[in-house]
Amino acid sequence: MRNNWTSVPSALSPIRWPTKAWNPALALLTVAAIITLDVVPGLIYIVGYADLHGGERVLHSPPAFQLLLAQLVAYVPLLLFLFYALPRLARVPLGELGVRKPTWRDIGVGLAGTVAMWIAVVLVGNAMATLTHRHDTETAVALLRDLKSPVELSAFFLLACVFAPIAEELVFRLFIFNALTKVTSVARAALLSGALFGAVHALGSPPAELLTIALPLAFGGVVLAYVYATTHCFWSNVTTHACFNGINVAALVFLHAT
């Protein structure tokens, strides 16, 4: 007898969790923690950096290095909370979520993902530039251009190539992508989590630049989702993400790329 049951999980899905995984209350708390510990500190710092002149509050752009340090400090409690909350959300150990010792295959897929992500972001970015006649860059790139000393550049490299890849892969792949694959296909989950990944990286940009910044990185997020679906290894994603960021930081610093 032919089986027409349509809710059979996709063969690509990395999810092998109990049906009742993802405690709703803890999921909401995790979302609140991500917003509070990652997004809000930067926004408060930018908006709140001001001087009083004649009783009027005059806003200024914060010094780049102070903004960088504020972001680094915000990542520490975020990482600690995510490593605590995610296994309790999924009701499985971190190892089953992919936080395990990577194999050589996992590392190889991560490195191949770097190439795929770079190609996807560059191709979509160039297509957007051709269509819109704009060459917009995300806020982090503008921040990097304001950093001059070796200490400042080293701190930015630490943020871009260590803290950000670990935190963002915990959020967008282990949390959001995994949660989405429980209610939809891997392909749709990859698209939705990729769109959120691109949108978050466009935060703080002028409205006219939102799409040209978000869309290329959204395709990069789709690549990262498939790296995770292929290996089910957190460190494969960190490898892809960190190498991608490292290549771009090196190109901006040493080759003065635009």
The pLDDT of residue 43 is above 90: no
Instruction: Tell me what pLDDT residue 26 has.
Output: 63
Helix orientation angle between 234-254 and 150-158, rounded to the nearest 10 degrees:
150
Report which of residues 31 and 51 the model is more confident about.
Answer: 31
> Residue 214's closest CA among 146, 128, 150?
128
Burial call 35-72: b when 16+ CB within 10 Å, e when fewer:
eebbeebbeebbeeeeeeeeeeeeeeebebbebbebbb
pLDDT per residue as tens digits for the range 139-186: 666 667 777 778 888 888 888 899 989 999 998 999 889 888 888 889
pLDDT above 60: residue 190 = yes
Q: Has residue 74 got a pLDDT over 50?
A: yes
- 8 A C-beta contact, residue 173 and residue 190: no
Q: Confirm if 206 and 237 have CB atoms less than 8 A apart.
A: no
**DSSP strand E in the chain: where?**
50-53, 56-59
Does the pLDDT at position 238 exceed 50? yes
Does residue 8 have a pLDDT over 70? no
98-135 pLDDT, tens digit per residue, is 999 999 999 999 999 999 999 999 999 888 888 877 76
DSSP state of 175: I
Segment 188-203 mean pLDDT? 88
**pTM of whole model > 0.75?**
yes
Q: Is the pLDDT of residue 92 over 60?
A: yes
Contact between 99 and 237 under an 8 Å Cβ cutoff? The reply is no
Of 251 and 31, more confident: 251
Q: Domain spans of the chain? A: 24-254
Q: Which amino acid is at 187?
A: A
Nearest Cα to Cα of residue 207 among 136, 120, 144: 136
CA angle 94, 100, 103 (to 5 degrees): 155
pLDDT, position 216: 92
- Reduce the DSSP state of residue 198 to 3 states and report it: helix
All residues at 6 or more sequence positions from 182 whose CB lies less than 8 Å from its CB, including other chains: 15, 17, 21, 22
